[in-house]
Each structure stands twice: as C-alpha cells, then as structure tokens.
Structure 1
Amino acid sequence: MSRIGFVGPSDGRRAIATRQESGMQSHSQPADKERPFLLGINARGSLAPSMWQSYLQPTSLAETLALLHRYAGQARLIAGGTDVLVELQRGVKPTATLIDITALDDLHYVRYDGSMLTLGALATHNDVIASPACVRYALPLAQACWEVGAPQIRTRATLAGNLITASPANDTITPLIALNAQLELISHRGSRVVPLRDFYRGVRRTVLEPYELLKEIRVPALHNNQRGLFLKLGLRRAQAISVITVAFIVTLTDDVVSEVSISMGCVAPTIVFAPSAEAFLRGKKLDSAVCEEAGRLASADIKPIDDIRGSAAYRHSTIAALVSLGLQRIAAGQHAAGWIPQPILLDTSAQTQTSPAPDKAISLLEHKTRHSSMRYVKMPH
C-alpha cells in the first residue's frame, strides 16, 4: 500500500489519498504526468508555484525501487528533508514528485558485528551520537555528527542524505572518507558497493544513478591501536556551515605512526587527502616538530579557492594549524577530549540512554536500544 499526496488547492492545504500499488508495472514516464500544476501560498502570502505536485510514501523496499525505476529520475527521495526541502526552495534539482521513505523501518538501524559498523539509510545523526559502538569505534564520525546543526536537525537529518547532497562542506563526508567507508547502492537491477572516496564526481555530483537508493553505509571499526579525530572550523561555534573540516585516522605501533589518513573538506570541489603529509608521518613519532611540518605539508597539498566564508590564503594557513593541532591532540591521547557523555538528543522516550565517553566503553552485547524508534543490534560472530 502506498500513500499518495497531491498539493492541494490555492489555500495551501493538501489532500491525501491511498491506492494499492501491488502489481505495479514499470514505466519510463509517470502515469500521472498529466496532472495540472497547482499553486500554493508562499511565505509572503501570495500565490506561487508549489515545490512539488505529488508525494508518494511506499511501505516496502521493493515498492520504493519500483517507484524509482518508474519515475526514471523525475522524482526525488526524501527522509529527514533537511537538505531536500532547502534545495527545492532554492530551485536546486527541482522535481514534481517526492518519494518519502520514512515508512521503511528496515532501513533504520545502527549495527556493530565486532569489526564493522553498518548504518541504515534512515539512521540519523542523533542515532550515531547515541550509539556507544559509533562513539568507540568511529569517534570522528560521532564528533562530526555532533557538529551538525542543532538537536532539532540532528534528530531529523539522515547520514545518507548528508552524503548524497555531496557538498564538500557537509561535515560527515570528511570523517567517513578517512574511515574508508563504503556504500551499498541498490536498485531494481541489483546492488553494488562503492567506496565513499569514489562516490563523488564534483560539487553536488555523485555516481548514484537516478533509479538507485543508498541502502547502507559500512564503516570499518577502529582498532585499539588506532586513534581518530574530527575538527571543524566555522564562522561561529555552533550551527555554522564549515569553513574547513579535517579528519584523522592514525595507527600507532609503539608510539610510531605506521599508517595515517588525513582527509580535508571545504578546500576543493570534493573531500581530499594530504598525501605529502601522510607520507612524511609514516615511521615517525608525533612530537611537536613533526606535527608542525605535517601541517605545512598538508597546506601545500591543497589548492583552495576564495569564497564568502574564507580566502584561499586563510584556508592554507588554517589547514596548517588545524592539522598540527589535531596530530598533537592525538599524540597526547586527547582525541576524545570534550566529548559530551550525555548529549542532548530531543528523545523523550523513557528508554533513552546516552553514549558513554569513548574511554568508558560499555558491553555492547547488553546494549539493545537507544531509541524507541530505531533498532540497535549486535550481530553474532
């Protein structure tokens, strides 16, 4: 059963109807494309074209994939809506049809199997913050989720949506690329797995086909000898679009760097690495001189542009400082400093708990749920 919504009469109200979608055939064009374009009320109280004409809410994954195939790029998916609705208001990637996937409960999860974290398409930023596994085994991702918007946004916005929007200023992309995350993309044709670092073609451009859905994000869990950190610079302390983001994953063997990944956002059309700094750091201890030189090399690895939030020269000097600072924090074991053990989640469920500090891990086997609306499962070995 699929809910169908039509933008209502000129007073802005919507009429909701339902129809049976079982046995629906695929079409290259929507069968309802002849519906008239209706008007709504804009913020000033005058008539204006509606942002969309029809609103579909499938109740199964199979139905969702059929709709994506049927509309052949003429519809957009919506879940949290925090990016999609802003884009539609601004006329970015306009569409007449929205497909709401929030009824697909099977896509709302955070799982940990002992070596891999998997996040369903409907996992929100708050779900990550509340997950002890994410905090312990993917700390840079949890730190990035905490930097996104306000609690009202974090409880609505999905990580999948943040990735698909494909802005280099989106906070969660930087740590997930450093963590070597992979995406499972599915469609009526089947599924494929794409490394996140290969997902982006440019600013707001990805390899996702119009008929595909991002089903799952897979994140290798950090090992005990690995330390991770996410740093963000904005024009204010909270609810700010990033000027620069940096994520670090450092593998230490007897205090010597054996492997390192440094990813940087807002300094190129897509998230980029610092190959010169990474090569320099391997085989070295993280003393202050080494950290400062790594920062200088990271700055030399980028070619940022001037924009309204910062000049290229400012980004060069700031990257050098942030990379040096981040490495020194990791060397001192302060990568988790400042993490809030009881973050504000805006979840009023009596069962809601909060994630502990990363150095105070709880038994994940005993942890069953953080939200009444999402499932957390520890998979058997």
Structure 2
Amino acid sequence: MAVSVSDRSSHSSSSLIPSFLYSSSSSSLSSLSSGSSGQNFMIRSPKEPSGRRIEMFSPAYYAACTVGGALCCGLTHTAVTPLDLVKCNMQIDPAKYKSISSGFGVLYREQGLRGFFRGWAPTLLGYHAQGAFKYGLYEYFKKYYSDLAGPEFATKYKTLIYLAGSASSESIAGLALCPFEAVKVRVQTQPGFARGLSDGLPKLVRAEGVSGLYKGLVPLWGRQIPYTMMKFASYENTVEMIYKHMIPTTKEESSKMVQLGVSFAGGYIAGILCALVSHPADNLVSFLNNSKGATVADAVNRLGLWGLATRGLPLRIFMIGTLTGSQWLIYDSFKVAVGLPTTGGAAPATTTTLASDSTSQRENTIEVA
C-alpha cells in the first residue's frame, strides 16, 4: 500500500516531539513538519492558531527563553526575600544574628512582619533583569558554541559547552544585577539607610557615585559565574541521568507533568551544588557592599577562610536548593506553555546535525510502496 508524501507530512505536522531542542537523531525529527521546502524546523504552540508557530533557535525562540528567565528568577528571588534578609544579616553581624531561628526573632522584634520583605523591590527588578540575560543568552551561547565545536565534539564535550555557555551569559547578566544588588544589601543590612529602591538608589549614587553601584561587581562575578556554571551544567547532566536511570520511559514518551517534575528535581540538586560552590563569594559580596571602603583582605581578616566558606551556609543551601528547583520548574513550564520542549535530556543540537537530519527526513518522505 503506497503512502504519499502529503499523507506523511499531514501526520508529522500534528506531532510534537519535545526532544527536538537537544536531540540530533533523525528519528526524533521525523515527526516534525519541515514545511514545503523542508528547511525550517518549527514547534507549533498548542495554544496558538494552527498558522502561528515558534521556530527553534529563531529570534522568537530566544525571546521566549528571555521572558521565561526573567519570570523564573524575579519571582523566586522575591519570594525568598525573608530568607535572604536573615542570611545577609548573619553574614554581616553574626554576634547579633547567631542562628536562623534567632535571626528571624530579632527581625520580627525590631521591625515587625514588614521587616521581612525589606529590599523586595531591588530584588524583584534586579533578578528579573539578571534572569532575562542569564537564560536567554545561555540558550544562545549553548547553540553558538555547539555550532563552533561541530556535532561530534558538541556531543563528546557537552559539559564544556554547558559551562562555556553559562559563564558567557552570566558575565553579562551580572552587569544588569550589580546595581540592584548593591542597593538591596544596604537596605537589608543597614537599618535607616533607605526604605527601598526608590530612595536607596539615588542616596547611594549621591554618596559614592555611579561607581559605587559596581563596587561589588568583581566579587559578584566571583559568586554568580561559578554559581551559574554549576547551575546549568549540573542541571543538564542531572536531568539526563534521571531520564536514563530513574524514569521507565524516555523523555519523549513521558508526560508533561513527569517532565516538569524532573525539571524541579534536577534543579533542586543543582541548587545544592551551586550553594556550596558560590558561598564564599556570597559572603564577600555582603561584606563589601555593607562596609564602605572595605577590601577583600579586610573580609578575609575579619571572617577568616572558614567563616567565608561556612557562615550562613545551611540557610543558603535550603534557600538556593528551593530557589533553583522552582526556577527550572517555572522556566520549563513557561516553555511548555508556549509550545517549546523542556530543557535538558540529551546533547546540544548543532546546525550541522539539524541540516543532516533535514536531509534524512526528506529522504524518508519519498513515496514508499
């Protein structure tokens, strides 16, 4: 019985295979519509009319990832503001804020419930901006470096691709976050400095100039770049291992709920590793932004190497684990909502492998007897 090209095309256009983003096998693309020319790979959004589609690795794709990143980082960091507030004060004044429980007690007695959300505005805006650059540029750089490496090396050295892409994206994202982080730390750790972003930002600029907003940039990079490299590389590899060893079905055969559950679990594990790697630099950022004219040497002399590595660490592990797991859940949920596949599960895709699979797909659609 003959199967026509148009019949196969009609059947393939109704299929959604989430593995397309990172899969280079022709079988994973055979169910995608290639259009009349077979050149453009697109994933149709389930909530959009049939005529509207998001093309993979197109400007619209990167824009969607940027919006998803802004949402997941801004919302989650703002939600954990009370934890961040106690953590920062434990780092700056350990004599007063001796433990997590006593820290919450001190804040409540001195400032009431409203005190737990001091600094929420610079947190919200700062991490919205940071998340937009971090996630959007990570997707771009991951694809860019994969194309430079070629399909063989991109697969063989995929972890290096993840590390390079995340380091590049965070270098730019840190520039967007730094001014807001400087204001946030002052508002949270210096009572009476300012009520929030609206009066704290101009006050800091008047006191220290625009350069004061970037005084903590180098230690911020020292915290955020290793954090982000660990966050993305460990997440990608953890998700791949979960599908390989813990899920009875492949990612393509798993339901959206299972895939999003894997996103949260992989994100939480990645968050724990992130906290361990970046905590010394986090203590430095808090110390330098709170002490005018202070240097890294001053921080080491006052806190000690052990203090830099451990002060406030248990709270930060809990905070960052929950934060990172929630971020990946929100990010992938947004991608699914607009018709894109979830993140992770296989090696990065490259232009070369996509072109090769396009040829294979066209050959497979020839009429078969």
- Give TM-score scaled by structure 1 length: 0.24
Which one has the bigger helix percentage?
2
Which one has the bigger strand percentage?
1
- Give TM-score scaled by structure 2 length: 0.25
